[in-house]
Amino acid sequence: NAGVTQTPKFRILKIGQSMTLQCTQDMNHNYMYWYRQDPGMGLKLIYYSVGAGITDKGEVPNGYNVSRSTTEDFPLRLELAAPSQTSVYFCASSSHGDIQYFGAGTRLSVL
Amino acid sequence: EDQVTQSPEALRLQEGESSSLNCSYTVSGLRGLFWYRQDPGKGPEFLFTLYSAGEEKEKERLKATLTKKESFLHITAPKPEDSATYLCAVQDSDRGSTLGRLYFGRGTQLTVWP
């Protein structure tokens, strides 16, 4: 059972470039989330989704976009990357909106 | 605004030396409090959920307790493999609780040396 899978594991971007962080889950969970984790800080919610076709902003959505066309996939899009987006990004999923299960993360550097 | 404060930020214990980590929270209404373990370079791993004051959960050397304002994660006779960052998170019942949003603390970095 793979759980929550994130790709890529590492990425270096130049300022102004764009990229998509992939997240897929095989647990048939309706709820999915994107967080970022900066050193010494708690996880901050970027976007979340309660089902296919439904997404909403979290605490820190600026500079990001998401889509949810299937139950399994919840990609996070970075447009015009900035150094402030250097972080570790985690995707999570939940069946009933309580316990969240996390992927291994994507470590992103914007230089 | 919801606030979750964890203390201490870092804790070093000798193997076998029991201690406790603290998580204090301020929410309009607590729907649930969650403890996670995070190893370096990995995603958070779920440990416990507590829903009401007085509730306790145990798993091996770990025991989580909950009061109306805080939660404790007690570590009994820790081993080096218990070294990790422990994260606390809360769900607020009065703000979009059905959406499953969690508010995380900054974590306590635990190091257990032999």
Average pLDDT over residues B53-62: 96
For chain B, the average pLDDT equals 92
pLDDT band at A97 (very low <50, low <70, confident <90, very high): confident
Inter-chain touch A42–B105, beta carbons under 8 Å: yes
**Closest CA of chain A from B14, distance in Å:** 24
pLDDT of B96 strictly over 60: no
Distance to chain B for A29, nearest Cα, Å: 12
- CATH number of the domain bearing residue A13: 2.60.40.10
Domain limits for position A71: 4-96
The answer as to whether A75 is a domain residue is yes
Domain range list for chain B: 3-113
Is residue A104 domain-resident?
A: no
| A109 found inside a domain | no
The whole-angstrom separation of Cα B46 and Cα A50 is: 20
Q: Does domain B3-113 have CATH number 3.90.1200.10?
A: no
Angle at B29 between CA A91 and CA B100, to 5 degrees: 20
Sign of the torsion formed by the C-alpha atoms of A107, A96, B33 and A65? positive
What is the count of residue pairs from A and B with beta carbons less than 8 Å apart?
62
Cα(A70)–Cα(B51) distance, integer angstroms: 31
Confirm whether A71 is domain-assigned: yes
- Contact: B44, A104; criterion CB under 8 Å: no
Between B98 and A93, the more confident residue is: A93
Residue A15 in domain: yes
Q: Is residue A102 part of a domain?
A: no
The percent of residues above 70 in pLDDT, for chain B, comes to 93
**Residue A108 lies inside a defined structural domain of this protein:** no
